[in-house]
Structure 1
Amino acid sequence: MTRNPAENSPVTLLGLGAMGTALAGTWLDAGHPLTVWNRTPARAEALVPEGATAADSAASAVAANPLVIVCLLDDASVGAALEGVDLTGKDLVNLTTTTPAQARPRSAWAEARGARYLDGGIMAVPPMVGVPEAGGYVFYSGSRELFEEHRETLAVPVGTVYVGEDAGFAALHDVALLSAMYGMFGGVAHAFALIRREDIDPTAFAPLLSGWIAAMAGPAVLQTAAQLKSGDLTADVVSSLEMQVAGTATFLATAEQQGVSPELIDPYFELMRRRLAVGSGEEDLTGVVDLLLR
């Protein structure tokens, strides 16, 4: 249900790429007065018929409202867009994809200019924005006060998850989850490669693969976390490290026989072998985590 615009906080949005445009649409639909700016003015002008106010510069857009949301290409573009802009008294929410090591100094940079700062990591793609059932959300870190004050407005496009005062934590959570996703995609690619030359319908195989991943990944993630926290890597082990390392030969032999490169799975197997050499064979796979630390 659309609410009265007078009841909603005004928002300034800098950046109208695919994600920025999707975010803008949700605030407009919810009745938030919206001022927009984009380096290419046509994108901002396109939202005027929908009720947005197009600013002719980043500075004028920032001046228009206390809450300023930035969704640009990268950290350098944030610095360039806000160079020389008066941020005194502003609440700056940066939804630009960055690294933790970029978010922390950007927070200090904003605070030195008189702004409160919140960093965000968007866990959604544009079609998920404004669709609650899609499950998208944004990680936020930095000023808790700012987050609590604007929580309702920030939650209009997608859900919100606050992860701490450290401004780098949103980006870190974002990249950690996406890294796990790409690791999963690697396993999926290897699985499909194994059946690729056989008389197996990939669309029939897909539900088996999807169901297996869901059944294995959920419990494994929770058990890994529990073991890391307790320090007991042998707690509740079902398939020991020693047993699993012994089984890797079968996976590698099957890949060889199917004419499939093992390059997506063998690096993980190598970590398992290394952990077995220095740890206990009765452990779970959790010990490989610390082998990755430099």
Structure 2
Amino acid sequence: MSERPKPRVTVIGLGRMGIPIASAFLDAGYPTTVWNRTAAKADALIAQGASRAATATEAVAASQLVIVPLLDHHTVREALASAAPALRGRTLVNLANSTPDHARELAAWAEEHGADYLDGAMMALPETVATPEGFFLYSGSQPAFTAYRRELEVMAPAHYFGTDPGAAEVHDLALLGAGYAALTGFLHAAALLDSMGTTPEVFAPLAARWLHGMAEFLPELAREAGSATYRDGVSTVDLNRAAVDSLIQLSRASGIATDVHEPLKALLDSRSSDGHGQDSFSSVFELLRSSPGSHEG
């Protein structure tokens, strides 16, 4: 069986992510139409072989697959408002920063206009588009994801989280939350060490090595939290409670804000006072989940 022909792709929005996304499709041999409110941003892509659309409506009408890496929900609705009649029979892939409710709202709007809808979250930087280092999350129309998975993976490895259009945004925000916690912890540590004469540049390689080891520990934490089996953990609540308490005391003595770690200390204190001091650190999950203790062993 011969491989199906490559469909025409439209990219609407040529910002930091839109340009490398459109370039990736051109490099992969896809006929690509581009549109941006500031037309000059398309010039380099036109020189690379892209087709320039004069309007958003023309851009949508040009392709069956319409990729929209704009800034946010409002910008997407504004850009596509005049193009709504052209959406019928097309697949709209929204890659804008959004909330789960905004994704569901846009999915309903696209469906009203006869389009399949995929919501996407870009876990990538411009330089990691079309490389294994980046990855994109998707939810929404399963037929659309199945039909266009090859095209979606031109941009980055694709992960699908079900038919709820908001699911990709929930997973996106969860990943961002994990990252923000790690980055904020690093900046707090850098501030603490800076007061002792160790610069952030000197500290960064040590922190990266430590965080790499912690990342390797995540599957074990996931196993414990998923099974609610906390009795044999190698890193207990009370052990970490003492460490966090020492960190807070050192921060206070050094004139460094303690806000970063006070919430964790409160969770560990609560867990210990409930008689779970010898349980694994991962048992803090029971205080954070929406139904605390409902499946704890």
For normalisation by structure 1, the TM-score amounts to 0.89
Cα separation, 2, equivalents of 1:73 and 1:204: 35
The alpha carbon displacement at 1:226 in A equals 2.0
Q: 1:33-54: CA deviations, max 9, x gaps?
A: 1111112222234422221111
1:263 partner letter: D
Which residue of structure 1 aligns with residue 121 of structure 2?
Answer: 121
Pairing 1:1-294 to 2, within 5 Å after superposition:
7-84=5-82, 85-86=84-85, 87-130=87-130, 132-133=131-132, 135-200=133-198, 202-219=200-217, 221-232=218-229, 234-278=230-274, 280-292=276-288
The alpha carbon displacement at 1:125 in A equals 0.8
Cα separation, 1, equivalents of 2:279 and 2:166: 32
SS of 1:83's partner is helix
RMSD of aligned Cα (Å) = 2.1
Which residue of structure 2 aligns with residue 3 of structure 1?
Answer: none
The alpha carbon displacement at 1:241 in A equals 1.1
SS of 2:136's partner is strand
2:108 partner letter: A
Q: Is the 8 A contact 2:232 2:279 kept in 1?
A: no
Cα separation, 2, equivalents of 1:20 and 1:279: 52
1:160 partner letter: A
> Which consecutive aligned stretches of 4+ in structure 1 deviate over 6 angstroms post-superposition?
none
Cα separation, 2, equivalents of 1:31 and 1:272: 54
Aligned residue pair count? 285
Q: Is the 8 A contact 2:13 2:36 kept in 1?
A: yes
SS of 2:19's partner is helix
The alpha carbon displacement at 1:77 in A equals 1.6
- Percent identity reads 40
Q: Is the 8 A contact 1:227 1:235 kept in 2?
A: no
Cα separation, 1, equivalents of 2:265 and 2:220: 19
SS of 2:114's partner is coil
Q: 1:94-140: CA deviations, max 9, x gaps?
A: 1111111211222122112111111111010111113x25x101111
1:151 partner letter: R
Cα separation, 2, equivalents of 1:25 and 1:18: 12
Q: Is the 8 A contact 2:190 2:199 kept in 1?
A: no
SS of 1:110's partner is helix
Q: Is the 8 A contact 2:26 2:50 kept in 1?
A: yes
Cα separation, 2, equivalents of 1:161 and 1:16: 24
Q: 1:44-85: CA deviations, max 9, x gaps?
A: 344222211111111111111111111112111211222242
Q: 1:249-271: CA deviations, max 9, x gaps?
A: 32122212333221222222122
Cα separation, 1, equivalents of 2:107 and 2:185: 37
Cα separation, 2, equivalents of 1:136 and 1:248: 33
Give unmatched runs, 5+ long, in structure 2. 291-297
Cα separation, 1, equivalents of 2:41 and 2:244: 53
Give unmatched runs, 5+ long, in structure 1. 1-5
Cα separation, 1, equivalents of 2:35 and 2:245: 57
Cα separation, 1, equivalents of 2:77 and 2:199: 50
SS of 1:47's partner is helix
Cα separation, 2, equivalents of 1:204 and 1:58: 49
